[in-house]
A and B are shown apart, each in its own frame.
Chain A
Amino acid sequence: MSKHIPLVATLVLGLAAIFVLPAFVEAFTLMELMVYVIMSILALSLGFVWGYGGILCFGQSAFFGLGAYTYAIAAINFGESTAAVGLAIAVPALFALALGYFTFFGRISDVYFGVITLTVTLILFNLVNSTAGEQYRIGSAPLGGFNGIPSIPTLNIPGMPDRVLDPQSLFIVCVILLMLVYLGLRWLLSSHFGRVVVAIRENEKRADLLGYDSRKYKLVTFAIGGGIAGLAGCLFANWGAFTSPTVFSLAQSAQVIIWIIVGGYGTLLGPVVGCFLVQWLTSYAGTLSAINPSLLLGAVLIAFVLLLPRGLVPLLQTAFVRWYPRLLSIKRQPDKAEARDALDRIPLAGTEP
């Protein structure tokens, strides 16, 4: 029974979001919620790759940006959104595959991997930012440089390019996709593939010595993360019907990392919670002129790394478990000095009684 709680909760929340919210909430708030939902998908991508795969990518915004720009360019060129969405997922995934091959098969250490991903995102930002001017176009889509690409055709019903989704429908699509990504990752992590990925994060050398090619597992993990981030980017381009080089920015990458640290490293719920919380906090701080959002975010990140490195959700889980041990079949996590050992206790497929 207990293992079905996340599934049930997800469905309930999702359905509530879909049916209840659009009717009761004003358009402006709906748009805000939509961007939180889209960013949660981005958060999940890194939450999976880093929290479970142990791959700290400082440049997840590279895939986010590639998704946004690929969608924009494809949608403008094709005039129809369905193939554009497919490309927006495939292109970042392939890019992640290439980058992953370059790094994992070269046995680059974690720190240096962080440098390389940070640098790649900078390269992309610099390149795209400098493409202002008529000569920079792909097909009929001008790249726009620092001005970005405006008037992006948004999602239409597949096969009917004139039937464009209205904001409420777009919101519903985003919620459904978030649910699918969340449930999909849960399923993936309970599979053998997922168990090996986590084992590699725990002890890569031991995984190799058991006969698992850790490079391939990390590569596939990284590519999946890239594809999901690309999906988020595609939705983001739809949200504003606009995209600019800031999607590739270091600031964007930093935000994703902050969401995960605040929300919960090593869980799937954590990144979503962290995303909603920090985004809301940032927009709230933006209304107060006394506090600079950068300063607030920075202070929050430092505080969490020093005091609460595993983030909020594991803390809440531990507290919850202490009070309701029968409700969840979760073992008390032993207190550990090492912060990055948290594991979401997803039941091991095939070994439950």
Chain B
Amino acid sequence: MSAGTSLVETNGLGISFGGVHAVNGVDFKLADGELRCLIGPNGAGKSTFFKLLTGQYRPTRGSITIRGHAIDGMESYEIARLGVGIKTQVPSVFNGLTVEENIWLSARRIGTRTEAKDVVAHILDMTRLQSLARSTVGTLSHGQRQWVELGLVIATRPALVLLDEPAAGMSDGEVERTAELIKDINRQCALIVVEHDMAFIRMIAKTVTVFNRGSVLVEDTVGRVLADERVRDVYLGKELEVRQA
């Protein structure tokens, strides 16, 4: 990719539900191979932004370009085929199938049977789920299911991986493992990671974008963002509003 061409670019992106502007004029750029963290208080529009990027929602204004293609009007599966993978806020996997079958379905979409076999083995190794390969996903713990979903997402070798709260509900040990996994994934894919856990963000982030009320508040390096008064206000302010109500 030539310098200056972003992997993802949105211009004035917006979507409204009734009178609520869930995403309100977002200009966003992500470079090839970049790892970006997306933070913001609840209801800031982060998950909605992801849904717009994956075609689950259609924007009411603005545009999205991924890998040079304008994705306006594309179905979710078409956007996925462009090289976009998403791990959703609520784990979305094939609960009735085994871990192996889950990853196989993903790997097989882009490769032959022999290729898929190798990819499955590699990902089971990467996520350290080999011992659970034949287990039905529905029986796994929440943390394990998140890793299965991670494996599922990267098996199609996407250029862009969207992670919506990958460390949610995990123990400290699991959180560290997830951070390692994400850095591992970053060697081959660009990532946008939505998270609330600031310690986790510090483990993985370089650039952080802060959303508030559907638009970008601040975009800077980790250190500067977390020290920014406005960012703290926005998180704390939200809490104060609730208490007064």
Residues of A within 8 A of B (CB): 192, 195-196, 198-199, 202-203, 205-214, 331, 334, 336, 341, 343, 348-351
Contact = CB atoms under 8 A, between A and B. Distances in A.
Nearest to B102: A199
B96 A343 contact: yes
Contact of B108 (A192, A208, A343): A192
B33 to A, nearest CB: 21
B96 A212 contact: no
Interface in B26-66: 54, 56
Contacts of B239: none
Contacts of A348: 100-101, 104
B156 interface: yes
6 contacts: A192-B108, A205-B76, A209-B77, A210-B152, A341-B95, A348-B100
A211 B77 contact: yes
B92 A202 contact: no
Contacts of A196: 105
A331 B136 contact: yes
A199 B105 contact: yes
B93 interface: yes
A30 B89 CA distance: 58
Nearest to B108: A192
Contacts, number: 80
B76 A209 contact: yes
A213 B75 contact: yes
Given A205-B76, A210-B85, A334-B139, 7 more contacts: A202-B94, A203-B95, A209-B54, A210-B156, A212-B109, A213-B77, A334-B138
Nearest to B95: A202
B103 to A, nearest CB: 11
A203 B93 contact: yes
B202 interface: no
Interface string B167-203: 0000000000000000000000000000000000000
Interface string B60-89: 000000000000000111001100011010
Contacts of B80: 208-211
B162 to A, nearest CB: 10
A96 B76 CA distance: 25
Interface of B: 54, 56, 75-77, 80-81, 85-86, 88, 92-97, 100-101, 104-106, 108-110, 113, 116-117, 120, 134, 136, 138-139, 152, 156
Given A350-B117, A351-B117, A206 B75 contact: no
B156 A206 contact: no
Contacts of A351: 100-101, 104, 117, 120
A206 B76 contact: no
Contacts of B94: 199, 202-203, 206
A208 B94 CA distance: 12
A212 B77 CA distance: 6
A202 B113 CA distance: 22
B49 to A, nearest CB: 16
A262 B94 CA distance: 26
Contacts of A341: 95-96, 138
B144 to A, nearest CB: 14
Contacts of A349: 113
Nearest to A342: B96
B109 A209 contact: no
B156 A211 contact: yes
B77 A208 contact: yes
B97 to A, nearest CB: 6
B101 A195 contact: yes
Nearest to A206: B92
B96 A210 contact: no
Contacts of A209: 54, 76-77, 80, 85-86, 88, 92
B97 A202 contact: yes
A213 B110 CA distance: 14
A214 B97 CA distance: 17
A346 to B, nearest CB: 11
A214 B75 CA distance: 11
Contact of A208 (B76, B100, B104): B76
Contacts of B93: 203, 206
Given A199-B94, A199-B97, A331-B136, A210 B113 contact: no
A202 B95 CA distance: 7
A331 B97 CA distance: 12
B113 A211 contact: no
A349 B104 CA distance: 11
Contacts of B108: 192, 195
Closest 9 A-B residue pairs measured CB to CB? A211-B80, A202-B94, A350-B113, A208-B76, A211-B81, A206-B92, A208-B77, A213-B77, A341-B96
Contacts of B152: 206, 210
A218 B45 CA distance: 33
A343 B136 CA distance: 11
Contacts of B136: 331, 334
